[in-house]
């Protein structure tokens, strides 16, 4: 009976989160499609035609998995960070804290909303990409696994950011100064093999490299890093961030005063 009630609570939070971003779909779903279309036109069609091949594939084919992953990272993070901070700002998150709902249910409800938005964005961006290039699938299982683990990871990271944030400006700090550099230097637009040995080694300290390359392997069958290591790191980071978020919520950090 208790487990059933927990499931009801989890489903309720998840539906609320999905309804939130679907209600304002013009702001949440349309911009990524437009942004990715511009990337495909500029980097794929115009610049890509001059670059030629990369990793044995046309430049357009090579960057498609990275661009999809980039949209998944930014949207899963943004959804949870803005939603949870809004709940803090409006003081309705306190209702969840006093309700007989376990902390893990609250975390999974918010994170689940971020993952749902990321998956929907991924489908939209993939559909847009099909207008520019023929998409091949090498391993669907790796694609789905990498996508879900990455979306979950950054949704949880967005939750942690929202827990610590004191103003709306604090939400944009991490995406601007951390996520954007890591993403652009994560092998989205180039292969690590083009870099000198030292910078290849430095690049492999960037966790986004493993997410992008794992995702690219699912589509093209090529990767600059070991796919098993990519999946292992994603699982490890997910567990670590979940524990951090759980401890912070349990202690009421950034919420209770």
Model pLDDT for residues 175-184, shown as the tens digit of each residue: 888 998 999 8
CB atoms within 10 A of CB 33: 14
How much is the pLDDT for 147?
A: 95
* pLDDT at residue 126 tops 70: yes
pTM of the model: 0.92
Lowest mean pLDDT among 41-45, 64-68, 192-196: 41-45
How much is the pLDDT for 173?
A: 86
Greater model confidence, 33 or 3: 33
| 221: confidence class by pLDDT, cuts 50, 70, 90 | very high
254 alpha-carbon distance from chain centroid: 23
What is the distance between the alpha carbons of residues 110 and 116, in angstroms, rounded to a whole number? 10
Cβ distance 71 to 32 under 8 Å?
A: yes
| 216: confidence class by pLDDT, cuts 50, 70, 90 | very high
Residue % of the chain over a pLDDT of 90: 54
Q: What is the arithmetic mean of pLDDT over 242-253?
A: 92
Q: Which two tokens stand for residue 159?
A: 């939750």
Torsions phi, psi for 255 (to 5 deg) = -120, -55
**Which residue carries 């539906």 as its tokens?**
15
129 alpha-carbon distance from chain centroid: 18
Q: What is the arithmetic mean of pLDDT over 65-77?
A: 93
* pLDDT at residue 155 tops 90: yes
Q: Which two tokens stand for residue 253?
A: 């950090």
Greater model confidence, 55 or 82: 82
How much is the pLDDT for 122?
A: 93
* pLDDT at residue 2 tops 70: no
Cβ distance 62 to 159 under 8 Å?
A: no
Per residue, what are the HEC states of 121-175? HHHHHHHHHCCCCCCCCCCHHHHHHHHHHHHHHHHHHHHHHHHHCCCHHHHHHHH
How much is the pLDDT for 83?
A: 93
| 242: confidence class by pLDDT, cuts 50, 70, 90 | very high
| 14: confidence class by pLDDT, cuts 50, 70, 90 | very high
What is the distance between the alpha carbons of residues 71 and 114, in angstroms, rounded to a whole number? 12
What mean pLDDT is reported for the chain?
89
């Amino acid at each position: 009976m208790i487990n059933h009630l927990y499931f009801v609570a989890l489903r309720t939070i998840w539906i609320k989160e999905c309804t939130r971003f679907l209600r304002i779909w013009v702001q949440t779903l349309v911009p990524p499609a437009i942004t990715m279309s511009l990337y495909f036109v500029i980097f794929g069609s115009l610049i890509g035609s001059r670059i030629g091949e990369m990793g044995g594939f046309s430049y357009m084919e090579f960057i498609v998995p990275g661009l999809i992953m980039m949209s998944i990272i930014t949207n899963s993070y943004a959804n949870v960070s803005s939603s949870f901070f809004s709940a803090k700002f409006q003081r309705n998150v306190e209702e969840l804290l006093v309700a007989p709902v376990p902390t893990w249910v609250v975390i999974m409800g918010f994170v689940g909303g971020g993952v749902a938005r990321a998956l929907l964005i991924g489908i939209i961006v993939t559909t847009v990409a099909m207008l520019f290039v023929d998409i091949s699938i090498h391993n669907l299982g790796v694609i789905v696994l990498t996508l879900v683990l990455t979306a979950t990871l950054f949704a949880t990271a967005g939750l942690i950011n929202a827990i610590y944030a004191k103003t709306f400006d604090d939400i944009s700090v991490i995406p601007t100064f951390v996520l954007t550099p890591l993403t652009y230097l994560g092998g989205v637009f180039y292969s690590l093999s083009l870099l000198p040995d030292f910078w290849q080694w430095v690049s492999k300290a960037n966790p986004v490299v493993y997410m992008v390359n794992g995702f690219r392997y699912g589509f093209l069958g090529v990767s600059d890093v070991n796919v098993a290591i990519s999946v292992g790191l994603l699982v490890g980071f997910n567990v670590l961030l979940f524990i951090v978020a759980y401890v912070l919520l349990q202690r009421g950090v950034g919420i209770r005063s």
